[in-house]
Amino acid sequence: MNWLKKYQTEWVLLIGIVLVYGLTACFNDAYIERFQYNVTTLILHPAAILGIFALGAAVVIISGGIDLSSGSMIALSAATVCLLMMLFSHWGMAQDGRLPWWCVSVAIMATLLIGILVGTIHTWLITVVELPPFVATLASLVGLRSLAIIMNKSVTASIGNQSIKVNVNDPVFFAIGERWWIAMAVFLVLALFLHILLNHTVLGRHLYALGGNEQAARLSGIRTERLKWFAYSFAAFTAAVAGILYATRIQQSDPESQGRAGELFAIAAAVIGGCSLAGGIGRVTGVVLGAIFLRTVIDAVAKLVTAGSDDFEGMIVGLLVVLAVAFNQLTDSKEGWQKQFFPGWFGWSAILSISVLVTAVASFSMRLSGRETAWRDGLLTGFLTAIVLTVFKTVAAIAKSERSRVAAREQLP
């Protein structure tokens, strides 16, 4: 029982994954007919790459910080590895159109090293310059992607036509990108490593302590700066790994789109997996399942909304994060489900705003999927939402006054 309760988040996610997949299968035959392709190429492969840098985001979050730079770090690492491979070919290292293994290794190692360098700079900004983590990594969020674009342009210009994108035609690269289980294996190895690190090593225990109470950690003789260096370097390192894998997938560095909003997806996966943004709480198992769950839901929506499904990703991630955090807080808080969600006049304005938002979402999505009566149905949906929420508000208010009446009666002698 204890065990069930401790891993509550994981169980909920596991059930959620199966449910979402099952439900989508009911509406979409392709899910069963092309089961293997769907599960591996559409869900597990992207989920593994997302999971890899979500692990990094989770370590930073557990240590009480935040890393907003992973999306741009992905773009930078993809650019680095592709440029190095291209340069090696250009310098005539390739034989029969294939680079020797040591060239590929050097390219990958150098890219991973750059990840650690970026993490070191973050740590310096945070611990020595004393910037808030949010600001330090926000600077990299905008800066690193720009750096990747400049790198690609300048190197391509110096050896041929200037271009933002860099293509790599190497069989090894292709082979890695083609096989979904390579990404999965890297993901699982990293997850296992991190799991052992967090649960069974001094470093891991100190990370939880740092996230739980930084001042008390320092007073306990913990070198908090070194821990932060590990956390931010690991985050940038995992983003670099993910960047390499993204590059192998399309055999290209495309800094304008690769890893865009990746940081938000990573934080979302960590939070859905049960990490607390206040720090000190989170498990690797939760993050792994969080990444898979996120990817499953995104793919399910892609299947259900045939046209322009990519455009829905942002909305889904936003909604899931809000729901996951709200759910965690509700199960932890004293009030629990007795909380008044729409109190007083502010409740009314919240109901109005939510209904307007639902109307917009419903009508525009239905219009996009070609429904004739989209505007009318959208309005109807928004109206229904308003009614449901009003009923909810009224019932909750009545229940509250009833409870306080009962409590008052019980206190009388």
Partner 1 sequence: MIVNRNPTRPLIEVIGVTKRFGGVTALDQVSLSVQSGELLAICGENGAGKSTLMKILCGQYTEYEGELRLRGEPVRFAGIKDAESRGVSIIHQELNLVEELSIAANIFLGREIVRRGFLANREMNRRAAEILAQLDCRIPPETLAGHLRIGDQQLVEIAKALSLGSEVLIMDEPTSALTETESARLDRVIRQLRDQGVTILYISHKMDEIFRLADRILILRDGRNVTTIPRQDTNPREVAHLMVGRELNWDQQIEPPPSRRDGEPILEVRHLFRRWPQHPRQWKLRDISFTARAGEIVGFAGLMGAGRTELFECLFGQSSDELFGDIVVQGKTVRFEHPSQAIAAGIAMVTEDRKRLGLFANLNVRQNISLMSLGRDTAGAFLIAGRREQRRCQSLIDDLRIKTASQSAAIGSLSGGNQQKCVIGRSLLTQPRILLLDDPTRGIDVGAKGEIYRLIRQLARDGLCVLMASSELPELLLLCDRILVLSEGRLTAEFTAAEATEQAIMEAATLAPR
Token reading at 105: 């290794």
Residue closer to partner 1 (CB basis): 222 or 292: 222
| DSSP string over 386-398 | HHHHHHHHHHHHH
Minimum CB separation from partner 1 for residue 344, in Å?
18
- In angstroms, how far is CA 124 from the centroid of its own chain? 25
Q: Do the Cβ atoms of 355 and 410 come closer than 8 Å?
A: no
CB within 8 Å of 27: residues ≥ 6 apart: 303, 304
What is the rounded distance in angstroms from the CA atom of residue 170 to the CA atom of residue 253?
13
Q: Among candidates 257, 263, 210, which has minimal Cα distance to 54? A: 263
Residue closer to partner 1 (CB basis): 124 or 392: 124
Q: What is the largest CA-CA distance in the chain?
A: 94
- Phi and psi at 373, nearest 5°, equal -95, 35
- In angstroms, how far is CA 379 from the centroid of its own chain? 32
Say what the alpha-carbon torsion angle 243, 244, 250, 255 is, to the nearest 10 degrees. Answer: 40
Minimum CB separation from partner 1 for residue 280, in Å?
4
- 98 three-class SS: strand
Token reading at 81: 């590895």
What is the rounded distance in angstroms from the CA atom of residue 345 to the CA atom of residue 193?
51
Minimum CB separation from partner 1 for residue 122, in Å?
21
The residues binding partner 1 (CB under 8 A) are: 196, 200-203, 205-206, 208-209, 211-213, 215-223, 279-281
Minimum CB separation from partner 1 for residue 221, in Å?
4
Minimum CB separation from partner 1 for residue 124, in Å?
18
- State the amino acid at position 410 in one-letter form: E
- State the amino acid at position 21 in one-letter form: Y
Minimum CB separation from partner 1 for residue 227, in Å?
12
Residue closer to partner 1 (CB basis): 179 or 218: 218
Minimum CB separation from partner 1 for residue 70, in Å?
24
Minimum CB separation from partner 1 for residue 200, in Å?
5
Residue closer to partner 1 (CB basis): 219 or 412: 219
Residue closer to partner 1 (CB basis): 5 or 372: 5
Residue closer to partner 1 (CB basis): 205 or 371: 205
- Phi and psi at 76, nearest 5°, equal -65, -40
Residue closer to partner 1 (CB basis): 196 or 357: 196
Residue closer to partner 1 (CB basis): 70 or 224: 224
